[in-house]
Amino acid sequence: MHLRTADIAGATGGTLAGPDVTVAGLDFDSRTLPPGFLFVPVVAERDGHDFIASAVERGAAAYLSARGSVPEAGEATCIEVADTAAALSDIGRMARRRLPERVVAVTGSVGKSSVKDLTSSVLSARWVTASSPGNFNNELGLPVTLANAPDGAEAAMLEMGARGIGHIAALCEVARPTVGIVTLVAAVHTEVFGSIEDVARGKGELVESLPEHGTAVLNAADPRVMAMASRTRARCLTFSGSGAGSRPADVVAEDIELDEQLRPRFKLVSPWGPAAVNLQARGEHSVGNALAAAAAGLSLGLTPDEVAAGLGAAPLSHWRMELATAPGGAQVLNDAYNASPTSMEAALRSARRLEGRRHFAVLGVMAELGFERAAEHRRIGQLATSLGFHVIPVDTAEYGPAPVKGWEAALDALGALSPALGAGDVLLVKGSRVAGLERLADALLTQD
């Protein structure tokens, strides 16, 4: 989104030092900042003000500063503000005012990024759509997403994460979504939230923010999510996926089948009519994510056929249920982007559906589970064993079997198998981001 620095100064209460120029967007990372953008120096573990000069050298058209103009930045335009993080939110608010009412936000303990990707593809079936890149789901990433929306954007899809009560409310105050999706409330981030009830309180801030003419898209299979219906003025539209936890809902799937690559196909059934859906996203749990995206699109006026086309065109997300064949013939299911008890169970059940003589699960830690950590790891370890997996834990003994230290040791353990890992074997690689097990998957797929 092209913005004038004079307008940015007005929105942030800042002072313009230098000529009024147009910026093509903004970034807070000087290493990735494209030419012509506004650089926003954030003060965190490192002070972004130290990188203003390098950002200008990379082609920044202007920069924010809470310390006045930086001599090393030459004659580049500076917007002097009291606080750069607060100014970033102010810019997000200004950008939001330039967008239409079609702003969708998603939160939840599990599935946020997948639902974001699917919904963005659904909205793109008709409208020019801005979408949160990667994990830009916090007080820094969300304003950047809004400000970097393409000129003429007709819709926006935003992911909202939280690490405590009030976080999502603050994001909603900037983004003012009109459609809010809540995927699931689970024991994730209880280490920082305190309890699963607090997680539900925090996630429910999204539906509380919705206007009366908006829509809350709620998971009918989760009682904590359904309880949020009493916290919103908006109309409620429900969805429910497949499996034992499914419930009657407004938007559902019938006749679900998975192909040999674990890609679901099903009949979408809704108050707006049916449509045949073929997903690229893998795993039966992807059906619920797709239904959430479908409900959002339908609530905004898309037809069932447009929704189905958008769902089918959604690209696969990096390190999420990526299925590939190693040089030796083993099938490697890389779901190393993140892990929670819910997503771990879904990945194990999906991987077990792949035909093979042996099934292995290399499992990294599930982070931020708080006091439930040991019990949940033990439960997942027992589930994996009951499903017939040979479990190789990495850096944690809580799954049950003796762990190996680091992904390289896991690679060595797999290399020492007899008979050797090869055709007919299935390997699931999964853990929280701190485990870094995507490196193991990459090594398995590239080694001779």
Q: Which helix (H) or strand (E) holds 66?
A: none
Helix boundaries (H) for 304-405? 304-313, 341-352, 373-386
Which tokens belong to 262? 């674990």
What confidence score (pLDDT) does residue 189 get?
Answer: 60
Q: What is the side-by-side order of every strand in the sheet holding 26-27?
A: 15-17, 77-80, 62-65, 38-39, 26-27
Give the residue carrying structure tokens 């809704």.
270
What confidence score (pLDDT) does residue 193 get?
Answer: 72
What confidence score (pLDDT) does residue 372 get?
Answer: 84
Across the range 382-411, mean pLDDT stands at: 97
Q: Taking 70 as the threshold, does the pLDDT of residue 243 lie above it?
A: no
Mean pLDDT across the chain? 94
pTM metric for this prediction: 0.91
Q: How far apart are CA 254 and CA 277, in angstroms?
A: 10
> Where does the pLDDT of residue 388 fall: very low under 50, low under 70, confident under 90, or very high at 90 and above?
very high
Torsion of CA 188, 166, 101, 267, to 10 degrees: 20
Q: What share of the chain is helix, strand, coil (3-state, %, to 5)?
A: 35, 20, 40
What confidence score (pLDDT) does residue 186 get?
Answer: 82
What confidence score (pLDDT) does residue 448 get?
Answer: 64
Query: How open is the CA angle 52-56-61, to the nearest 5 degrees?
Result: 115
Q: Which residue type is seen at 116?
A: K
Q: What percent of the chain has pLDDT over 90?
A: 88
How is 170-224 classified by DSSP, letter by letter? HHHHHH--SEEEE----SSSHHHH-SHHHHHHHHTHHHHH--TTSEEEEETT-HH
Which tokens belong to 436? 């870094």
Q: How far apart are CA 169 and CA 24, in angstroms?
A: 28
Coil vs helix vs strand at 74:
coil
Give the residue carrying structure tokens 């789901």.
137
Q: Kindly give the pairing relationship between strand 22-23 and strand 3-4.
A: antiparallel
Q: How far apart are CA 168 and CA 197, in angstroms?
A: 15
Give the chain's domains with CATH numbers. Answer: 3-85 (3.40.1390.10), 99-313 (3.40.1190.10), 322-446 (3.90.190.20)
Cis before 419 (ω within 30):
yes
What confidence score (pLDDT) does residue 124 get?
Answer: 97
Q: Mind listing the pLDDT tens digit for each residue in 270-279?
A: 999 999 999 9
Torsion of CA 28, 33, 35, 38, to 10 degrees: 0
Q: How far apart are CA 24 and CA 26, in angstroms?
A: 7
Q: Taking 70 as the threshold, does the pLDDT of residue 343 lie above it?
A: yes
Please enumerate in sequence order all residues whose Cβ is within 8 A of that of 308, keeping only pairs 6 or more positions apart, or say none.
Answer: 268, 275, 276, 277
